[in-house]
Structures are given as C-alpha cells and as structure tokens.
Amino acid sequence: MPYAPARADRLTRLHRCVGLAAAPFITLSLLLAVALTHPAALHATSARLFDSRAIPAVALAEPVRPGAIDQTVALVARAHGARPNVVVLDRTGLARVGGFAGGHDHAGSRAPRHTTYVVDIRRQAIVRVEDLGNSLFLIGHGIHAYQWFGIDGLNLASVTACALLALLTTGLAMRVRDRRAGRSGSPPLRWHARLGLWSAPFTLVIAVTTLMFDFPALLPAPDPASRPIPALALAEPLHPGSLDQAAQLAERALGSRPHSYYLGADGRVKLAGFGADIAGDAVVVDTRSMRIERIEDWRNNPVSAAFIVHDGRYLGGLDGFNIMDAVALVLFYLTWGGAAAAWRRWRLRRRGAGEVGLPG
C-alpha cells in the first residue's frame, strides 16, 4: 500500500529533524570538500580575485640555482624571519611555502606566522604572499577546521560527519521497515531512498574518515615496519640538511620526484606527492646522514589510506572530477530534496492533505 506520512512515526520524524537541522552544515561542508580537493582552481581564483600582500624585498646571497628547494626555503626564511616547515610544488614551477606553526584552524590562520609565500623556483623569486584575507584555500581550510567553543574536535567537519551517520542509519532503518511493511511511496520518494542506498558506502567512508582525522585515536596504529628500502648512495659529496639531496634519494627510491616536503625540527624530512599521488607514497629521510629511514604508502600508514578514500583520489585523482565529487552532488540532492519534501509535507498538512513525495 502507498506510504502516507501524514502521521509520521518517531523514526521518520527523527530522520526529518536531523536532515533539516543539519542541512546548512552539510551544504557548507560539501562545498568546502569539493573546493579543497581542487586546490589548483582555488589558487588560480584567489590570484584573480585578490591582490598579493606586500612582497618582501629579499634576495639570495648566492647565485640562483633554478629549482633548488634549499634556496627556496632559504629565501622564504629570510623574508619571514623563520624557517618554513612545508613546501608544496605545483606543475607550473611554483612552490607554496608556509607552515611556520602547526595547525590551520581559522583563528590561527589570522596570525602572520601562517602566511604562505608563493615562489617561482625557476628564478627563486617570491611572486605572491597570501594569508587568510586573500587565499580561498586558507579560508576554506580555516572554516573546515575551526574549533567551535575552543573544543578540540568540535568543528564543522565532525558535526557534519555525525549528522551524515545519523541520516544514514535512520534512512536505512526506514527502508528496511518499509520493505517489510510493503510500503512503496511516491516515485520521487523512492528515488530519494534509492540514491541514499546507492551512495551509502561512500557516505559511510566520508563520515568515518572525517571523524578519524578529528579524533586520531580512532585510527589504527601505523605499521612500524617500513616498505622495502633500496640500497642507495649519493653520487656527490654529502651536504647535511640539503632538501635537494633528500629529494634525489627519494626519486631514486620511488622513480619520481616528490612534490611535497614536510620539514621536521630534528633534521628529518618527509617527502610525498610522488607522481599522481594515488597510493599515498612517502619517504622519510634523515638529512643529517642522507639516509632513508622509512618508506610509506597506504599499506603501512593508516592516515594515507584514510586520505586516499576520503578525498576520492583513487578514482579520478585530485584537481579533477572524481568519485567523491559525484557523491557530493548526490548528497546535495538528498539534503535539499529531503528539505523540500518536508516543506511540502508541512504545506499539505496545513491543507489536510495526505501523501507527499519529493519534487521530481
């Protein structure tokens, strides 16, 4: 028999109330999620919309070596007065250098120490300076990770993840209940249920991995064993602390040059972003001895595995339309289609109507 929700049971009311209350948060999270998995587009849009901050007049004290990451870091250190901890290269010869302090929350991003310098590594020149006021990427990360009421882990991402899990659980329970009762509902309502069911595995992955990032205790412990480390030696004299030599070792180990450098305070550097960066490969090098200490990928680093499935790079890559972008479109339809159904149901109830379905 047709399902007429004029007298909705508790499960239906719970599903509806959670969906309506969480709709703004889910929408903002979806927009941020899609944007942040397309960083190249965000950076290009920021450059078109906003002027650079004042660019410090600094220069190297030695001849320019095009592409040398050591010189890039030295240049930014002179401009900022502190050594950066993160260097990310793009495919156009630019490096984004920052990470002067840990964290990228909205409040912390207001501080000058979170400034990002864009360096043309071909001529070792700072071409743009960004902060929270002129970078859509930093703004997006700030909103995404801003801690509400100063409570660690309470942010837009974690609240949205909990709401998605609640909607997924109640939605699946409603589908089981209606199938047992032989209820079908209107065609739009059936499409809402089908899309929710088809997207359920991806929704579950997004929600669970989001909570893992906010609550690291939920992540499995990393495998202490490294992937096999090849026996490599430098073909030139050792230069302790050199990021360029560390990158040469990593390139020889994995067959491609890294695009991300994460500098530790103890002389170690983690190099990542090899090739298409689908497997989450990373190499940890002790730059004091130029020895590879660890090689990681999704198999021995749970964080890498979580990121790979979280952002959809395993099917479509980053900076392109991938599987999670498609899921985001489905979730957007489910969120606002459900809100439209609730609004229509409210109008029909005021008129004393019965059955209601989602708008086609």
Query: Would you state the pLDDT for residue 313?
Result: 75
Query: Would you state the pLDDT for residue 3?
Result: 42
Query: Would you state the pLDDT for residue 101?
Result: 61
Query: Would you state the pLDDT for residue 171?
Result: 92
| Maximum distance among all Cα pairs of the chain, rounded to whole angstroms | 85
Please identify which residue in the block is written with the tokens 């650079």: 52
Q: Is residue 130 part of a domain?
A: yes
pTM of the model: 0.82
Q: Is residue 231 part of a domain?
A: no
Whether residue 157 sits in one domain with residue 119: no
DSSP 40-94: HHHHHHHHHHSPPPPPP----SS---TT-HHHHHHHHHHHHSS--SEEEE-TTSE
Whether residue 121 sits in one domain with residue 66: yes
Of 74, 109, 134, which closes a domain?
Answer: 134
Q: Is residue 166 part of a domain?
A: yes
Whether residue 256 sits in one domain with residue 208: no
Query: Would you state the pLDDT for residue 318?
Result: 67
Of 87, 103, 134, which closes a domain?
Answer: 134
Q: Is residue 1 part of a domain?
A: no
What's the sign of the alpha-carbon dihedral 152, 158, 163, 166? Answer: negative
Whether residue 125 sits in one domain with residue 58: yes
Whether residue 336 sits in one domain with residue 208: yes
Query: Would you state the pLDDT for residue 62?
Result: 92
Query: Would you state the pLDDT for residue 249?
Result: 93
Whether residue 166 sits in one domain with residue 125: no
Whether residue 278 sits in one domain with residue 155: no
Q: Please give the Cα distance from 22 to 160 (Å, whole number).
A: 7
Number of domains making up the chain = 3
Token representation of residue 352: 């004393």
Report the 10 Å Cβ neighbour count for 191. 17
Whether residue 122 sits in one domain with residue 59: yes
Q: Is residue 93 part of a domain?
A: yes
Token representation of residue 349: 């109830």
Q: Is residue 309 part of a domain?
A: no
Which amino acid does the sequence have at 27? Answer: T
Query: Would you state the pLDDT for residue 307?
Result: 86
Whether residue 77 sits in one domain with residue 212: no
Query: Would you state the pLDDT for residue 87?
Result: 95
Strand arrangement, sheet containing 282-286: 125-130, 116-120, 94-98, 86-89, 260-263, 268-272, 282-286, 291-296
> What are 291-338's pLDDT values in tens digits?
999 999 888 888 888 888 888 776 666 667 788 888 999 999 999 988
Whether residue 187 sits in one domain with residue 120: no
Query: Would you state the pLDDT for residue 241?
Result: 93
Give yes or no for a contact between 3 and 353, defined as CB atoms under 8 angstroms apart. Answer: no
Angle between helices 69-80 and 243-254 in degrees, nearest 10: 140
Q: Please give the Cα distance from 113 to 308 (Å, whole number).
A: 29
Domain that holds residue 293: 243-300
Residues of the chain with pLDDT under 70: 1-8, 101-113, 185-186, 275-277, 314-319, 352-360
Q: Is residue 232 part of a domain?
A: no
Whether residue 329 sits in one domain with residue 198: yes
Q: Is residue 167 part of a domain?
A: yes
Whether residue 130 sits in one domain with residue 56: yes
